Chain A
Amino acid sequence: SYVLVQPPSVSVAPGKTASITCGTTDFGGESVHWYQQRPGQAPVQVIFDTSDRPSGVPERFSGSKSGNTATLTISRVEAGDEADYYCQVWDGVIDHWFFGGGTKLTVL
């Protein structure tokens, strides 16, 4: 079982870099995945397997993990990046999937 903790909100100026963290007590070697959800829309995967980008996702989106914290980094932030972002982990032992509480990214 996983409890994934994300900051409720992050603000960044256009053109700057946004970092959204996802923390837990122990990832246990599991990969972390990230989703973008714009207002009124369905989620879209932006990072899978901690650092891989699905086709069509801009290279400005990157993911990493160090110890008990995973990070989604968005470089050269644009107004269109304003959205909620969720991290997610799969517990393969019990076949349950867990989401973080989400982070609202505001572009100033």
Chain B
Amino acid sequence: QVQLVESGGRVVQPGTSLRLSCTASGFTFALSPMHWVRQAPGKGLQWVAFISYDEKKNSCADSVRGRFTISRDNSKNTLYLQMSSLSVEDTAVYYCARDRAGGSFENWGQGTLVTFSS
């Protein structure tokens, strides 16, 4: 069955960087476009970034453009989200999601939490 397992979330300081990972199994990762979606505590879902199966195409939300970079390593079945200049507004559970043709999210991981120290 499809499995998406995120990792890398932790407590961070404002202004620092962090890389999230998502390891995929149960489907042909190398042929699947992928996304990152986040959810701030008690809030709704927000799409963050998209990457095509071959990395030739990517896009990201206006709120993270220039700070977040999505990438993938098809040889490792792994999706990444490199986050820099982090701010408290980036506090959220970050989910990786497999794209379904037609513009939706077919499968989701369980998420990894990024939070800030007070």
Contacts and interface: CB of A to CB of B under 8 A. Distances in A.
Contact of A97 (B47, B95, B107, B108): B47
B85 interface: no
Interface in B64-114: 95, 100, 102-111
> How many residues of B sit at the interface, in one of the four size bands?
20 to 34
B102 A48 contact: yes
A90 B104 contact: yes
Contacts of B13: none
Interface stretch (A10-18, A20-28, A38-46, A70-78): A38-46
Interface residues of A, number: 28
Contacts of A54: 106
Interface of B: 35, 37, 44-47, 50, 57, 59, 61, 95, 100, 102-111
Given A31-B104, A88-B45, A97-B47, 13 more contacts: A31-B102, A42-B108, A42-B109, A43-B95, A43-B108, A88-B104, A89-B103, A96-B61, A97-B50, A99-B45, A99-B46, A100-B44, A102-B44
